[in-house]
Amino acid sequence: MIDTISEYQFTDWFMKHRPNNFSYEGTKALFDYLTELEEDCGQSIEFDPIAFCCEYDEYDSIEECLKQYDDIDTIEELRDNTTVIEVEGSQSIIIQAF
């Protein structure tokens, strides 16, 4: 059973229930990424916000993110190891946690 979630519903849920996980702009970027992933794979993704919170992390900048990983020095190296989602209109990035 799958229910279609709009961008508004997606961002609204996070802003109401988990505002510390992603910024408003970050939720929009994550929604766009997940809907593109659905199209590319040809499969629907279940709306599981807790799983998204566990699977993805948002950082205010690439520098903040790189501080978390001793063996990664550049965004290119980060992209070689995980998914990197740039948040439009800010310096924030979202990565798939690894």
Please state, in angstroms and as integers, the Cα–Cα distance from residue 32 to each residue in 38, 60, 68, 72, following that order: 10, 19, 25, 26
Q: Work out how many domains the chain is built from and give that number.
A: 1
Give yes or no for residue 66 having a pLDDT over 70.
yes
Residue 15, domain extent: 7-96
29 located within any domain: yes
18 domain-assigned? yes
CA distance 96 to 54: 9
Q: 77 lies in a domain?
A: yes
pTM (predicted TM-score): 0.92
Per-residue model confidence as pLDDT tens digits over 86-96: 999 999 999 99
Count the Cβ atoms, other than its own, within 10 Å of residue 44.
10
In this structure, is residue 2 part of a structural domain?
Answer: no
Q: Is residue 1 part of a domain?
A: no
